[in-house]
Amino acid sequence: MQDPGSDRAELLEEHLAGLRAFVHLRLGRALRAKEESQDLVQSVCREVLSELPHFEPRADATFRDWLFKTAENKIRDRWRHWQREKRSVAREVELDLTENEDASVCSDLATLCTPSRHAAGREEVARLERAFCELPPDYREVIVLARLRGLTHAQIAERLGRTELATRTLLSRALARLALAMERG
């Protein structure tokens, strides 16, 4: 008989790369100046693993949905923490965290073996992040829901209060704008 703990770890491991990308993009530059995305990912994993025995999937909610919702809640809590007047990130000067932060994101790109490829990968992640931040909020949201959370167009339509056709169009436009922003650099 297999250890139930290893089943839980495998389930979490299956979604870990997507969770890392989701948290990294959802943090935004201001919060990323105060929080490391990898720390939040670890916190989400710890919380999910402790609650996993109580998780019961429903027809409308999968493990992935639950995992990403937990991450959203954790990010929202950290944002509220830093928005309190004493700690408001709006009052602080932004630091460049590219070395530490991008290194953890790039660890998922382990197939890039040479140092020059590793550096190029970090630069590409930084370009993607800058381009993503330039997008309008509804474009960022539809990309996160479709590409990171893996929701269907019907699920996205329901969440955004749009028709399925409208969400398909929105996603197409968002990805095109992201590609253009990436080209500009």
4: CATH: 1.10.1740
Q: Are residues 21 and 72 in the same domain?
A: yes
Q: Taking 90 as the threshold, does the pLDDT of residue 88 lie above it?
A: no
Contacts of 96 (CB under 8 A, 6+ apart): none
Residue-averaged pLDDT of the chain: 77
Domain span including residue 16 = 1-90
Question: What is the rounded distance in angstroms from the CA atom of residue 130 to the CA atom of residue 124?
Answer: 10
Q: Taking 80 as the threshold, does the pLDDT of residue 3 lie above it?
A: no
Read off the pLDDT of each residue in 169-174 and give the average, rounded to a whole number. 93
Q: Are residues 118 and 148 in the same domain?
A: no
DSSP conformation class of 85: G
Read off the pLDDT of each residue in 55-82 and give the average, rounded to a whole number. 81
Q: Are residues 7 and 85 in the same domain?
A: yes
pLDDT at 168: 93
Any idea what the CATH number is for the domain that residue 163 is in?
Answer: 1.10.10.10
H helices of the chain, where?
A: 4-32, 37-51, 63-83, 98-106, 115-134, 137-143, 153-160, 164-184
Closest CA to 14 of 45, 39, 59, 43: 45
Number of domains, the chain: 3
Q: With residue 135 as reference, give the H or E element that holds it.
A: none
pLDDT at 21: 85
Q: Are residues 47 and 119 in the same domain?
A: no
Per-residue model confidence as pLDDT tens digits over 107-124: 544 444 566 665 666 777
Q: Taking 50 as the threshold, does the pLDDT of residue 99 lie above it?
A: no
Of 18-32, 50-64, 83-97, give the lowest mean pLDDT range.
83-97
Q: Is the pTM of this model over 0.75?
A: no
Q: Are residues 15 and 83 in the same domain?
A: yes
pLDDT at 96: 45
